[in-house]
Structure 1
Amino acid sequence: MAPRSSLTPPDAAQALALRALTEIAGDDDLLGRFLVQTGCGPDALRRRITDPAFLGAVLDFILESDATVTRIALALDVPPGRLATARSLLPGATPEGSP
């Protein structure tokens, strides 16, 4: 039996988003697109790295592209749906089906 995590669901979502951000930062193409899309420079990224709303934006960036979802899910060894679930637990998430 796998050990149970002591993290709350929002904490686990933040941890997953932080791991995903590490993957983005390790890929020049993804990092460049992320910085352009968010308007966030490297200094702002460092300052906001623990902000739950910013981590939600990281997951938003990933979820905009099926290819990015697949790439990050494989890198993190998680089911792709876990990224969407994590996003739903962080500030700024919109209810499914909302514009």
Structure 2
Amino acid sequence: MRQESAETIGLQALAWVTGNDELLPVFLGASGTSLTDLKTRAGDPDFLAAVLDFVTMDDAWVVAFCDSAGIAYEVPLAARQALPGGSLPNWT
């Protein structure tokens, strides 16, 4: 996946999290982010990576996000891997 596509998925995930009244406070607390930060950092690939890290922590969140966005369940993780810090280590 190209980084531009991954950023789009990250923005969709951010919109999904912010639109979820139960999940938004969990994200804000876990990330230490404020509502103002959400607006100013929405275009930051590192921040979008953190959003995808958060969403992919729970299978139910992945399913709910993907179902709402109409994307395959493996897309959030693929997008995360295309953003900064997301490459898988090669142990061989």
- Scaled by the length of structure 1, what TM-score is found? 0.85
Following superposition, the deviation at residue 65 of structure 1 comes to 0.3
Tell me the SS of whatever aligns to 1:71.
Answer: helix
Higher alpha-carbon Rg: 1
- Scaled by the length of structure 2, what TM-score is found? 0.91
1:17-56 matches, cutoff 5 A: 17-56=10-49
After TM superposition, where is structure 1 displaced by more than 3 Å over at least 4 residues in a row?
Answer: none
Structure 2: 5+ residue stretches without partners:
none
Sequence identity (%):
33
Q: Partner of 1:61 in structure 2?
A: 54
| Equivalent of residue 86 in structure 2, options 67, 71, 93 | 93
Q: Partner of 2:7 in structure 1?
A: 14
Aligned length: 91
1:84 aligns with 2:77: yes
Structure 1: 5+ residue stretches without partners:
1-7
Any idea what the Cα deviations from partners look like across 1:9-39, whole Å, max 9, x if unmatched?
Answer: 1001000110111111111111111101100
Q: CA RMSD in A?
A: 1.8
Tell me the SS of whatever aligns to 1:80.
Answer: coil
> Which amino acid is 2:21 matched to?
D
